[in-house]
Amino acid sequence: MSYSGAAKAKEARESLGKALAALQEDPNIPPDVLAVAQNIAQAVGALFEAERASSEPDGKSCVKNALGSLSQTLALLQDVRESHAGIHTATQTLASAMSLLFPLTTRPTRHPPAPSGAAAVSVPGAATVPSGEPSFTQPGAEPSPARNAPAPSRPRGSEATVAREHIEANLGATTESNFYVGFSGEISQGGVFVSTYNILPVGTAARLLVTLPGNLSTEVNGSVRFVRDPMDMTSDSEPGMGVAFEGLSKDSRELILRFIRKRPPMFYDE
pLDDT at 108: 65
Pair 33, 77: CB distance under 8 Å: yes
Does 149 have pLDDT greater than 60? no
DSSP letter for each residue of 50-114: HHH-SSHHHHHHHHHHHHHHHHHHHHHHTT--S--HHHHHHHHHHHHHHHHHHHHHHSPP-PPPP
**Of 20-34, 143-157, 223-237, which range is least confident?**
143-157
**Of 4-13, 21-30, 50-59, which range is least confident?**
21-30
Between CA 61 and CA 264 the distance in angstroms is: 15
Pair type for strands 266-267 and 178-181: parallel
pTM for this predicted structure: 0.68
**Of 161-165, 168-172, 204-208, which range is least confident?**
161-165
**Of 144-148, 227-231, 248-252, which range is least confident?**
144-148
Count of all residues that appear for the chain in the document: 270
Does 93 have pLDDT greater than 80? yes
Domains with residue ranges and CATH for the chain:
6-106 (1.20.120.230), 136-267 (2.40.10.220)
More confident position, 139 or 162: 162
Residue (of 143, 149, 138) closest to 225 by Cα position: 149
Q: Round the average pLDDT of the chain to a whole number and report it.
A: 78
Helix (H, G, I), strand (E, B) or coil at 49: helix
